[in-house]
Chain A
Amino acid sequence: MPMELTPAPGSTPTQTGEPTDLETRDMMLNIGPAHPAMHGIVRIVAKLDGEKIEDADVEIGYLHRGFEKMAEQVDYNGVMPYTDRLNYVSPLINNMGYCMSVEKLLGIEVPERCHYVRVILSEISRISDHLTCVGATAMELGAFTVFLYMIKAREYLWELVEKVTGARLTVSYCRVGGVKADLPDGFTEPCQEAFKETRKVLAESDGLLTRNRIFVDRMTATGTISAEEAISYGITGPFLRGSGLDYDVRKDCPYAVYDRLPFDVPVGTRGDNLDRYLVRMEEMEQSMRIVEAALREMPPGPVLVNPETGRPIPAAEMVDLAKMGNIGAFSGACAVPGPTLEGSGRAQHPAIAAGEKRVNLPPKEDAYGNIEGLMRQFKLVMFGHGVRAPEGEVYFPVEGANGELGFYVVSDGSGSAYRVRVRPPCFAIMSALPKLIEGDSIADLTPTFGSVNMIGGELDR
């Protein structure tokens, strides 16, 4: 923009000939949709006065993939892969939220061990989400080392997730009325090992950031919002808790087994970026505490060996036996989960799935071994069959990594949902972004946007 040097009308030249008030103009700055400081695609048109942001218009929708329309096209369990890709940094929380809302609609309750498995995995997801958020924020403020460290820790957690679900990121692990498979044998040791590494990384990152002058100066008093304003914008999660309101769905509307697990809800006082960073750092520690307690208190699962022979029967061998009609040889035995984790084992089944034949797939042993199991399997997986929910509408919230993640499901009694609506936590935070960055300088946009933790899949769906 060319500098305006002519004095504006009405200005009085001083003795040196310089005008006292130069004419100034606001400048429009377009940031995004593809911009290095915007991890995720969003467009911000900022109105600048010098370096100060006077007003901003945020445009979203660049990753709109029609989740809600697709959920009406497929059956209830078919929505699961789509939920993975909502908040793709913590897919297991989305899985859990969706499943629990459909279970509420169906009026069924899953076994206790299943609740524990879901809680453990969603807390691991929460840690990886916070690691990504804090790491990316730090990277954008110049601390690239922290990003590398945190992604390293996330890699350890993803290995855990992979052990359980068979996938690193898009896991599709939960099922309506249960989970796909139980935790693998001896899950506690690798979990403790991964947490040890994560704690080490957190301590290192804490040393690099929390008392770092550059980091603290850029995070303090930027992106400030009060608790009342935050809640009126619908902001929840670490963002709201950074402003001092301790609303956490896990505490205030407890679901699954969160009411008997020990954890604290950290809150900030100033509502700025630094508080939100501190809240996230503390929440990771609390999540690890939840997982450790859950692993201790969880009801024991079945042992995966045939008591007669002392060895488990591989699923493939079981199929061969069934083909020969030799069902007696393995009735009551357990299959070893294959590489795809099918054949989760009959003995495990009651612990991880609700005992409702119209909802849960039978154990693989039954599907392979007897006609009732086979029919039950077909009645659930064939086109036009599957889970049927009664007519009704429910809303069920869970605490996502960014805040309250709710699913509103309407059913008309057919095999697929009539309407699935997600209440995306970062949609609310993004709607407050113009308010958050107003009055700050343009460079403060980066830490504020980082602490919003915008996830495109969840924002635009």
Chain B
Amino acid sequence: MNPSSAITAVTDRFPEAVSTSHTYRGDATVILRRQSLLEVTRFLKEDPEFQMNFLVDLTAVDYSAFGKGGRPAFFASSGVAVSPPPLIPDKDPWPGPPDPSRFVVVYHFFSTTHKHRLRLVVPVADADPRLDSVSDLWPAANWLEREVWDMFGIQFSGHPDMRRILMYEGFEGYPLRKDYPVNKRQPLIGPLN
């Protein structure tokens, strides 16, 4: 299945679950409403046309600082602002972050039978960062979901073992959220340097 036919197949099967979709740089992306996640992923795994048996990656993005300016360009010695370098013109622009909600959880799938890829994007609101767990369908999701919880504080309901994985117990906050300062340390021993 090529990217556009994959998108069409998912959209036709679940017209009410898919909020929008696009193909950017050859990556097929389907943006889902979060209540229908389990239904769609089960279909993707079991449908003979898709057979997405390989959950490549599961991660999240915090869009709360998106487009609010990266680093300003200025001369470090004088502080005089200069215009940033020009962008390379893009013939096929990206439609932008999917939803005004703060987080999105991103799933990448691959089928080792049909050799096609698909990306699912599920927006998750800041007020209730919660999503269904797909660890029953792909055991790979077990640790990946734990990592998303650890780094972004998004809960996965139905996950067998929801606890921190990379950081330690007693660490407060979620380091990959945009409002977590990069060098805010919480040492277990030693000085706060």
Contact = CB atoms under 8 A, between A and B. Distances in A.
A and B directly contacting (CB within 8 A)? yes
Interface of A: 60-61, 64, 66, 68-70, 73, 104-108, 228, 231-234, 236, 245, 247, 252-253, 356, 358-359, 379-380, 382-386, 388, 390-395, 397, 404, 406, 408, 410, 412-416, 418-419, 421, 423, 427-428, 430-432, 435, 460-461
Interface of B: 24-25, 27, 29, 53-57, 59, 61-62, 65-67, 69-76, 82, 84-88, 90-91, 93-94, 96, 106, 108, 112, 115, 117, 119, 138-140, 142-144, 151, 164-168, 175-176, 182
A304 B89 CA distance: 35
12 contacts: A69-B182, A107-B91, A231-B53, A236-B54, A252-B115, A253-B117, A390-B88, A390-B90, A392-B94, A408-B108, A414-B69, A430-B143
Contact of B56 (A73, A234, A383, A393): A234
A416 B70 contact: yes
Q: Main SS of chain B's interface residues?
A: loop
A70 B168 contact: no
B138 A234 contact: yes
Given A69-B182, A391-B67, A413-B87, 14 more contacts: A61-B165, A69-B176, A232-B53, A233-B138, A236-B54, A252-B115, A358-B88, A384-B72, A404-B56, A415-B73, A415-B84, A419-B61, A419-B62, A421-B57
B81 to A, nearest CB: 9
A386 B85 contact: yes
A455 to B, nearest CB: 15
Given A106-B88, A231-B54, A408-B57, A418 B66 contact: yes
Nearest to A390: B90
B108 A390 contact: no
Contact of A388 (B65, B85, B182): B85
Contacts of A416: 70-71
B88 A233 contact: no
B71 A108 contact: no
A393 B94 contact: yes
Given A245-B112, A408-B108, A391 B165 contact: no
A407 to B, nearest CB: 10
Given A385-B73, A395-B57, A61 B166 contact: yes
